[in-house]
Structure 1
Amino acid sequence: MAGDGVLYTWDDKDLQDMIAKGIGRINDMTPVMKNFADYMVLQTDTRFRDEEAPDGSGWQELKPATSARKEKMKGAINKILQQGGYLRLVHPHHDKDSAGVFSDRVYAAIHNRGGFAGPGRKVKIHKREFLGFNDADIQEFVETCKDWIIMGRRA
């Protein structure tokens, strides 16, 4: 039987080069991790401004006695977790495989997670989460990864 046909031969050198570059970028995600750590510093600052946890829920209000005490203090800021401003100053951390933010304040964990403090651990500290990731943060990270791996864009 006689027939006819066409054959397409594709030179995939460009594709192979693109894949090799992508693999190289996957092996060192430092630029993406730095970008995401810096992004999380900004997100944390926004949480302090809005007095919200990563999930968008509002922080527990100050007790009336705490609010009254803060109002009497000279130069006091009557905002939650912001008396001295130190908790708001978080630091980025990244390496080639991870990214995050941290506070260097010893009292950060009790405010972020809640618990009991003071002599005999009798004072209840309400959880007012400011460190953490939400779905939008993770989506930002995924998009940044795609841009880096596929296109080589850092941010």
Structure 2
Amino acid sequence: MSSASITIDLDEVNDALARLLAAAGDITPALKNIGEYEAKATRRRFIDERDPDGKTWAALNPLYAKTKKGPGILRGQTRSLSQIVWQLAGDGVEIGSNEVYARIHNEGGTIVPKNAAALVFSMGGQTFKVKSVTMPRRQFLGFSDEDVTEILAIVQDHFLAAISPAGAP
């Protein structure tokens, strides 16, 4: 059996491969760019009032809408829920909200009292005493097709920059 091999011993190629290996070992810059991008895209969903797939969020309860303060759905006067944050986490990045009530708004669900017979709250100038409240899903966390495309471009740019000769655009 015969075989053939080619050995590439070009400084330019060896340098590019070394930079690629170094870039693969430290993806932190790409993760930071992903975190920044996705936090911005998520904050935009609060303005557009749409989920990652572009579906419009459920309308506000009409009684609540009468007295709500703040600019829109899931945005109160402080806009604290829409202050999306990101952080590096191991070999990934986490994107979310620091507000404890973020999950129920993002996923929807039923709220029941923990230590009382009923939930008591005011809405639209009326007081309610109920056994549960169902919150509609108004998803703001997640990835749209556009997000996935941009994240892949960020990863690609990270590695393309790594193999580019120093000083090259």
Partner of 1:131: 141
Structure with the higher strand share, 1 or 2: 2
CA contact (8 A) 1:29 1:96 kept: no
Equivalent AA in structure 2 for residue 105 of structure 1? E
Could you list the runs of 5+ residues in structure 1 that have no partner in the other structure? 1-8, 71-75
Contact 1:33 1:94 in 2 (8 A): yes
SS at match of 2:87: strand
CA distance in 2, matches of 1:151, 1:43: 24
Question: Could you tell me which residue of structure 2 aligns to residue 63 of structure 1?
Answer: 61
Provide the TM-score with structure 1 as the length reference.
0.82
The correspondence of residues 32-47 of structure 1 with structure 2, limited to 5 A, is: 32-47=30-45
Counting aligned pairs with the same residue, the percent is 33
Question: 1:100 deviation in Å?
Answer: 2.9
Query: Which TM-score applies when normalising by structure 2?
Result: 0.75
Structure 2 residue aligned with 1:113:
107
**Amino acid of the structure 1 residue aligned with 2:16:** M
| Number of residue pairs matched by the alignment | 140
Deviation at 1:141, TM superposition (A): 1.2
Give the Cα separation in 1 of the matches to 2:51 and 2:27.
28
Q: 1:93-104 alignment to 2 at 5 Å?
A: 93-95=87-89, 97-104=91-98
Task: Find the residue that maps to 1:77 and give its secondary structure.
Answer: coil
Deviations 1:42-76 (A, max 9, x none): 11111001001111111001111111132xxxxx1
SS at match of 2:95: strand
Matched AA of 1:80: I
Per-residue deviation, residues 16-46 of structure 1 (Å, max 9, x unmatched): 2212211110111000100110111111111
Counterpart check, 1:143 vs 2:153: yes
What is the root-mean-square deviation in Å for CA atoms of aligned residues? 2.0
CA shift, 1:138, in A, is: 1.4
Determine if the alignment matches structure 1 residue 82 to structure 2 residue 80: no
Instruction: Report the counterpart of residue 5 of structure 1 in structure 2.
Output: none
Residue 95 to residue 124, structure 1, CA distance change in 2 (3 Å): closer
Aligned residue identity for 2:40: L
